[in-house]
Amino acid sequence: MHDLVRPTESARLPSIGVRIERARLTYGGVRLFDGLDFELEGGRCTCLLGPSGVGKTTLLRLIAGLADPEPPTVLAAEDGKPLDGRVAYMAQQDLLLPWLGALDNVLLGPRLRGEAVGAALVDRARGLLDAVGLGDRLQARPAELSGGMRQRVALARTLMEDRPVVLMDEPFSALDAITRLRLQELAAGLLAGRTVLLVTHDPLEALRIGHRIHVMAGQPAEIGPAISPEGSPPRPADDPALLVRQAELLRRLSS
Amino acid sequence: MHDLVRPTESARLPSIGVRIERARLTYGGVRLFDGLDFELEGGRCTCLLGPSGVGKTTLLRLIAGLADPEPPTVLAAEDGKPLDGRVAYMAQQDLLLPWLGALDNVLLGPRLRGEAVGAALVDRARGLLDAVGLGDRLQARPAELSGGMRQRVALARTLMEDRPVVLMDEPFSALDAITRLRLQELAAGLLAGRTVLLVTHDPLEALRIGHRIHVMAGQPAEIGPAISPEGSPPRPADDPALLVRQAELLRRLSS
Amino acid sequence: QDKLTVLLDWFVNPDHAPLYVAREMGYFRDAGLEVEMIAPADPNDPPKLVAAGRADLAISYQPQLQMQAAEGLPLTRIGTLVATPLNTVVVLADGPVKSIADLKGRKVGYSVGGLEDALLGAMLENAGLKLSDVELVNVNFSLSPALLSGQVDAVVGAYRNFELNQLDIEGKAGRAFYPEEHGVPPYDELVIVANREKAADPRLPRFLDAVERGTLYLMNHPDESWKLFVKANPELDDELNRRAWRDTLPRFAHSPAALDARRYERFARFLKERELIGEVPRLADYAVELR
Amino acid sequence: MMRAVRPMVRPLVTAAVLIAAWQALVWATGVPRFILPDPARVAMALWERAGLIGYHALFTIGEILGGLALGVVLGAATALTLSYFRPARRWLMPVLVFSQAIPVFALAPLLVLWLGYGMASKVAMATLIIYFPVTSAFFDGLRRTEPGWLDLARTMGGSRWSTLVRIRLPAALPAFASGLRVATAVAPIGAVVGEWVGASAGLGYLMLHANGRMQVDLMFAALLTLAAIAVALYFAVDALLRRALPWQPDNNPDEERD
Amino acid sequence: MMRAVRPMVRPLVTAAVLIAAWQALVWATGVPRFILPDPARVAMALWERAGLIGYHALFTIGEILGGLALGVVLGAATALTLSYFRPARRWLMPVLVFSQAIPVFALAPLLVLWLGYGMASKVAMATLIIYFPVTSAFFDGLRRTEPGWLDLARTMGGSRWSTLVRIRLPAALPAFASGLRVATAVAPIGAVVGEWVGASAGLGYLMLHANGRMQVDLMFAALLTLAAIAVALYFAVDALLRRALPWQPDNNPDEERD
Ligand SMILES: Nc1ncnc2c1ncn2[C@@H]1O[C@H](COP(=O)(O)OP(=O)(O)OP(=O)(O)O)[C@@H](O)[C@H]1O
Ligand SMILES: Nc1ncnc2c1ncn2[C@@H]1O[C@H](COP(=O)(O)OP(=O)(O)OP(=O)(O)O)[C@@H](O)[C@H]1O
Ligand SMILES: [Mg+2]
Ligand SMILES: [Mg+2]
């Protein structure tokens, strides 16, 4: 693993849990959530699966502070302080800025915060792009990149953020199986010790890198009990125990 | 399967193979293809896998007539006639028109061709949307739909096209495992007898619905020999033979 | 009733009194004419449009007519409306300029009509100065405001019947220098022009007769005339126009159809001297006395 | 309640503030009343000459609407032509820009010669002024279509015409709306400039007339009326456009939640 | 070879075609030369009075550039203010529209009173004309930002200011460019109208003067010069804008491959 991509202070980041209680949210008259409770364990990776359109993205956005929940929704961090400024969010779309090259897209966060973008930050961004396999496309604009490449730039940008809470919405969906495995490992490594919520459609992916795995279903949506596979992530993809778990997950998903 | 969604004349569509020879294409000085040969067998479903950024989308666009190949590239249909007007193309992005509701997005093709959009066509579009699980969101604009829902609308739009050659770029990437299985079956059923090229990152998906499966790799990109699983698609997802094949595919992908 | 279109030189104002009185008194109708009067915004346009055949008659200025004739426009004067110059150089009475000679080194505002700088040049030379001794500024729409607000020290192109009253109403007395008293030959301010090719139009003498009747009524019954005028143009019913009306009365041509050939020729020579025209046009080509 | 009342109150408050500012300006700068009369004087003129102003306003409104309709139709047609024919783009665009630089007084005699002194020449002038913003903005919008949609239309076998109608046009509507907003705001001045060509009615005529005769109060009263028409028209069009383009993102920085 | 020559040839051909059309118009309509002189006459005037016209053109160019610079800066600033402060939007927008409807001749004495007869009043006039298209288009662009980017900026902890600079501004550049194109095309008329307000130099002044003297040839020669300046300026700005926004899709229907 590249040393550069891991910020020096990351080890010192405190891990914070996040709790959401009695969430309620309505879109166009339809109750998407009603009394939904959910918890992200501090320092752990929680994976969320569920049918398309059930509200996974909406839940992520709610935690990121981007959706407007209705009362009596409560969103709270374990340490009682507000979540603002402690969350990194990777959306389902890549949301790259078309006028910036890959490197500048990755450096967007520090620039937006008005941090001095010195050699250290640039090197880290370079390192991250290198780690996602785009070390030779630093200046490429989004329009010149393939779908998977764009997703990888967005992933690098999210990892650049170095926040205690990281929310990722299908971050590997546009990647081939091999790249996906590599990047799962990269992400799991870099995000170790952080509170991660990862939405995915791939049960195996969830089983590889999740500490806890939940299935969301129904309308209004409910979140099922956690599955906690043994061992610590990233688990090897060919672990036979995972295949057994996968069958269980698929069963839950199809019920 | 809904009867409505299958156009009456579909049985009569002749199946045409497509051949691409000595393809050459350069982007920004880099030879993406150089002397690439590839064939789509008529009436069969060919699946294409390969690392992100290798050129799968570009190849698809080339066949769709949307990329400008350089000489000595040859693109030809088996029957010698031009491909124009006989190809349906589903891009990697959903490309829904934001000002149209789901139903109108699905009806875009006939409208663009100036066909009279009568009750029959509307019913078929409705039926397709119903089949992809959006029967209750006919009027929803893209901005009101989740990522997976948008992809399903795009899929319905492609199926609506009823063309002998169908090119699909990661059509199920944003869908959960269960919906994906269902829609794979739907697509395999509706597209039976057509010449299909399907780009996917999911080896199992390729194994379930592909007659022939190719792996693309390298720079310039080369396309490996076909894997032809036994039985006819859609194959059951829990077929143990598939798992064996999957291991082989993964080996090819990672080489 | 024959229709006749008359393009005014500018917006309706007391200078056009004879026309309106003739219309309101029914003199045009008596002459078998139905006269439509149209106001343009740019005084340069009406003669062009008459020359182009778009209208029957235009109200214009003698100097302009002569310049246009020299440029070859097929126009001819058939009558006179205002028979003295109206143009003046105006300064504030309590200002530093007591004589034309005091203008040396000062700013003079003008509204581009084509003639103003020539007039001023002649007046300055008459006082021993040159045109280059003053700074000319085109102030277009706002002669009085420019003078009142001290933007310029003098304005040329101000009308003696208007701008002086305007200054007075604003509480400032103006001092006028009359061109004809400072080396500029006298001329007819407002003339009626027709297309030269159509000078024999039988409607024209009838029109002039009606204008003459209007002028005479106007002089005989100034107060009644004023009432007629503001009835036709209610927006003009104010102090300024009332005063302008009074000051314009003595300046109307008593005999609108009469032509003073020497006056025209004298002024044409002046224009040539000032290099406003290249050749002195033949009088008969641009001015007639209808029979 | 409060919310329902507000939309009615705001214009009144704006007007009040403007009038106060105007009065303050007059007091502070001591600008003479023949250059800028104070509000009271103008209000008086507005009141006393309401009939006259209203009569002239009717003409001007007619010209504005005529010019707007014609300008928008011609502008849209030109933008389409420009974007559909490369030769048009190459040869016509310079001509259009050229036409923008022609001052009224050069054109006026021509317009009158061809169109006469009636409504037509004024509508033509207003059209000319409105025409370019619409053309330019719409043309810009038409050529900024998302390439993916065009690819889609191509594979679907859409003709140029249907691609235009179904994809390029709706995609360019926000840009068109932008141009239309500018056009709406300049339409009144277009009509007034048109009256410059020669008129016997209309607010522009009235203003010029009043100006020429130093009836500055009346001029400003007419001007206020014209401006009020302009503002009303602008907001009507703006509201209409917003309603017509519901899918378009519309966010303002100060509405960002913090 | 051919391709290299073309960009030089096209304007000449356009000019030739225009001149031919003009000549044809003169012949066909028989419009008298004191209303629309024929090209040869104007060319002669252009040639004989080149020095005079050049002298006045310099002033006008200065005014155009000044007005353009000021108008764009002020317009951009206003658009930012409008989009950043809801009150500004609510109260200022009507005022802006209002201001658009004020005819020059009402404003002229005020401008001259405050700015004098020098360059300043003309630049102010040109600025005023350029201002609104820029403001309106840019403001429209600023509020049409892709909501996803704003969400991103929010979670990244971007301040309003940095979100503006890094996201909203670049995203609004295409719209801004649209407005700038319109502004560039109307800037020359702005300068000429400014000279109308009171001037002793400039092409507008020269035209008025020639018009008054019935030197219609000279007037049209000055007009041609003005229009040429306008066209040159427009295409320079257009080329600049295209170069500055390389990421923006730019496709024209007639370039669609069939
Ligand atoms: N418009 C373009 N300009 C320059 N390079 C491009 C352009 N489009 C694609 N490329 C390059 O071509 C290569 C192939 O891209 P393509 O989209 O075909 O990949 P892909 O195999 O579909 O990848 P993915 O699985 O990530 O979608 C990439 O390296 C990409 O950067
Ligand atoms: N802006 C909106 N307006 C109206 N409805 C919306 C809006 N955004 C989302 N929805 C609805 O909310 C529901 C949940 O959407 P969400 O994007 O959270 O789904 P998801 O679980 O992320 O699905 P996917 O796996 O397809 O991404 C969907 O039914 C969608 O139609
Ligand atoms: Mg989602
Ligand atoms: Mg791809």
Whether residues B176 and A57 touch (CB distance < 8 A) is answered with: no
With 0-12 / 13-18 / 19 or more C-beta atoms within 10 angstroms meaning exposed / middle / buried, residue E251 is middle
Which range has the worst mean pLDDT, D9-18, D147-156, E247-256?
Answer: E247-256
Can you tell me whether residue B213 is helix, strand or coil?
A: strand
Choose between C141 and D12: higher pLDDT. Answer: D12
Predicted confidence (pLDDT) at residue E65 exceeds the cutoff of 80:
yes
CA of B60 to the centre of ligand 4 (A): 9
Mean pLDDT for chain C overall: 87
For residues E193 and D129, give the distance between their C-alpha atoms in angstroms, rounded to a whole number: 14
H or E element at residue A197: strand A195-199
> Which of C111, C116, C138, C197 is best to mutate for the E interface (most E CBs within 10 A)?
C138
Which one of B137, B149, B150 would you pick to mutate in the ligand 2 pocket, going by the greatest count of ligand atoms within 8 A of its CB?
B149
Q: How many CB atoms are closer than 10 A to CB B139? A: 11
How high is the pLDDT of residue A12? 57
> Which of C67, C68, C112, C197 is best to mutate for the E interface (most E CBs within 10 A)?
C112
Closest CA to D68 of D180, D170, D161, D160: D180
How high is the pLDDT of residue C77? 92
> Between the CA of residue D220 and those of C87, C230, D40, D56, what are the distances in Å?
28, 21, 11, 14
Confidence of residue E252 (pLDDT cuts 50, 70, 90): low
Q: Is C177 left (phi over 0), alpha (psi -120 to 50) or beta?
A: beta
> Nearest 5°: phi and psi at B215?
-115, 130
**Residue B147 Cβ contacting ligand 2 at under 6 Å:** yes
Nearest to C11 among D109, D212, D218 (CB): D212
**How many angstroms separate the first and last alpha carbons of chain E?**
28
For residues D63 and C147, give the distance between their C-alpha atoms in angstroms, rounded to a whole number: 35
Query: Does chain C touch chain E (at least 3 C-beta pairs within 8 Å)?
Result: yes
- Tell me the shortest Cα–Cα distance from E91 to chain A, in angstroms: 29
Predicted confidence (pLDDT) at residue E3 exceeds the cutoff of 50:
no
**Residue B144 Cβ contacting ligand 2 at under 6 Å:** yes
Predicted confidence (pLDDT) at residue E36 exceeds the cutoff of 60:
yes
Ligand nearest to the CA of B176: 2
Once rounded to an integer, what is the mean pLDDT over residues E247-256?
Answer: 63
Confidence of residue E255 (pLDDT cuts 50, 70, 90): low
Predicted confidence (pLDDT) at residue E2 exceeds the cutoff of 50:
no
List the helix and strand counts (H, then E) for chain A: 8, 9
> By CA distance, what is E105's nearest residue in C?
C141
For residues D246 and C10, give the distance between their C-alpha atoms in angstroms, rounded to a whole number: 50
Give Cβ neighbours of residue D230 (< 8 Å, ≥ 6 apart).
D185, D187, D188, E97, E98, E100, E101
Give residue-wise pLDDT tens across range E191-244: 887 777 677 778 888 888 787 777 788 888 888 888 888 888 888 888 888 888
Nearest to B97 among D149, D155, D245 (CB): D149
Counting as contact any 3 or more CB pairs under 8 A, the partners of C are D, E
B149 interaction partners in chain A (CB closer than 8 Å): 52-53
Predicted confidence (pLDDT) at residue E4 exceeds the cutoff of 50:
no
Transcribe C5-36 into DSSP letters. Answer: EEE-SSS--GGGHHHHHHHHTTHHHHTTEEEE
Q: How many CB atoms are closer than 10 A to CB C93? A: 15
CA of A23 to the centre of ligand 3 (A): 18
Confidence of residue D1 (pLDDT cuts 50, 70, 90): very low
Once rounded to an integer, what is the mean pLDDT over residues E9-19?
Answer: 74
Ligand nearest to the CA of A132: 1
For residues E234 and E239, give the distance between their C-alpha atoms in angstroms, rounded to a whole number: 9
- Tell me the shortest Cα–Cα distance from E170 to chain A, in angstroms: 8
- pLDDT 10s digit of each residue in chain A, 255 long? 445 555 545 455 677 888 888 888 888 888 888 888 888 887 888 999 888 888 889 889 888 888 887 788 777 777 877 778 888 899 888 888 888 888 999 998 888 888 888 888 888 888 889 888 888 888 888 888 888 899 999 999 998 888 888 899 988 988 888 888 888 888 888 888 888 899 998 888 888 888 888 888 888 888 888 787 777 777 777 777 777 787 788 878 777
Ligand nearest to the CA of B58: 1
CA of D248 to the centre of ligand 2 (A): 18
Q: How many CB atoms are closer than 10 A to CB D243? A: 8
Q: Report which ligand 2 atom has the smallest distance to the Cα of A58.
A: 18
B246 interaction partners in chain A (CB closer than 8 Å): none
> Between the CA of residue E214 and those of C73, D242, D257, E37, what are the distances in Å?
10, 50, 64, 11
Q: Report which ligand 1 atom has the smallest distance to the Cα of B50.
A: 21
Confidence of residue E8 (pLDDT cuts 50, 70, 90): low
How high is the pLDDT of residue E5? 47
B245 touches chain D (CB under 8 A): no
Taking CA atoms only, the protein residue closest to ligand 1 atom 26 is A148
> By CA distance, what is A238's nearest residue in B?
B247
Give residue-wise pLDDT tens across range D79-134: 888 877 777 777 777 777 777 777 766 777 777 777 777 778 778 877 887 888 88
Which range has the worst mean pLDDT, A86-95, B243-252, C130-139?
Answer: B243-252
> Between the CA of residue E164 and those of B73, C198, E172, what are the distances in Å?
47, 70, 10
H or E element at residue D115: helix D104-115
CB contact residues (below 8 A), chain D span 149-178, against chain B: 149, 151-159, 162-163, 166-167, 170-171, 173
Which one of A31, A32, A59 would you pick to mutate in the ligand 2 pocket, going by the greatest count of ligand atoms within 8 A of its CB?
A32
Taking CA atoms only, the protein residue closest to ligand 1 atom 25 is B52
Q: Report which ligand 2 atom has the smallest distance to the Cα of A59.
A: 18
Q: How many CB atoms are closer than 10 A to CB C3? A: 10
For residues B98 and B93, give the distance between their C-alpha atoms in angstroms, rounded to a whole number: 13
For residues B7 and B88, give the distance between their C-alpha atoms in angstroms, rounded to a whole number: 15
CB contact residues (below 8 A), chain D span 49-108, against chain E: 83-86, 89-91, 94-98, 100-103, 105-106
> By CA distance, what is E160's nearest residue in D?
D253
B144 interaction partners in chain A (CB closer than 8 Å): 27-28
Mean pLDDT for chain D overall: 79
How high is the pLDDT of residue E231? 84
How high is the pLDDT of residue D7? 55
CA of B167 to the centre of ligand 3 (A): 25
Give Cβ neighbours of residue A31 (< 8 Å, ≥ 6 apart).
A24, A25, A219, A220
Predicted confidence (pLDDT) at residue D4 exceeds the cutoff of 50:
no
Ligand nearest to the CA of B53: 1
Closest CA to A39 of A48, A30, A31: A48
Ligand nearest to the CA of A202: 2
CA of A53 to the centre of ligand 2 (A): 5
Predicted confidence (pLDDT) at residue C133 exceeds the cutoff of 70:
yes
| Pairing mode, strands A212-217 and A87-90 | unpaired
Nearest to D211 among E102, E105, E141 (CB): E105
Give residue-wise pLDDT tens across range C198-242: 888 888 899 999 999 999 999 999 999 999 998 888 778 888 888
Whether residues E32 and C48 touch (CB distance < 8 A) is answered with: yes
ipTM for the complex? 0.81
For residues D111 and D100, give the distance between their C-alpha atoms in angstroms, rounded to a whole number: 15
Query: Does chain A touch chain C (at least 3 C-beta pairs within 8 Å)?
Result: no
Give residue-wise pLDDT tens across range B57-86: 988 988 888 888 778 877 777 787 777 888
How high is the pLDDT of residue C214? 92
Which one of A36, A54, A59, A201 would you pick to mutate in the ligand 2 pocket, going by the greatest count of ligand atoms within 8 A of its CB?
A54
Q: Which residues line ligand 1 (CB under 6 A)?
A: A 143-149, 174; B 27-28, 32, 50, 52-58, 92
Give residue-wise pLDDT tens across range B136-193: 888 888 888 888 899 999 999 998 888 888 899 988 888 888 888 888 888 888 888 8
Give the DSSP letter of residue C224: H
Predicted confidence (pLDDT) at residue B203 exceeds the cutoff of 50:
yes
User: pTM of the prediction?
Assistant: 0.83
Q: How many CB atoms are closer than 10 A to CB B3? A: 7
Taking CA atoms only, the protein residue closest to ligand 2 atom 17 is B146
User: Would you state the structure tokens that stand for residue D219, as one six-digit string?
Assistant: 């001029």
Torsion over CA: D81, D85, D87, D90 (sign): positive
CA of B190 to the centre of ligand 2 (A): 27
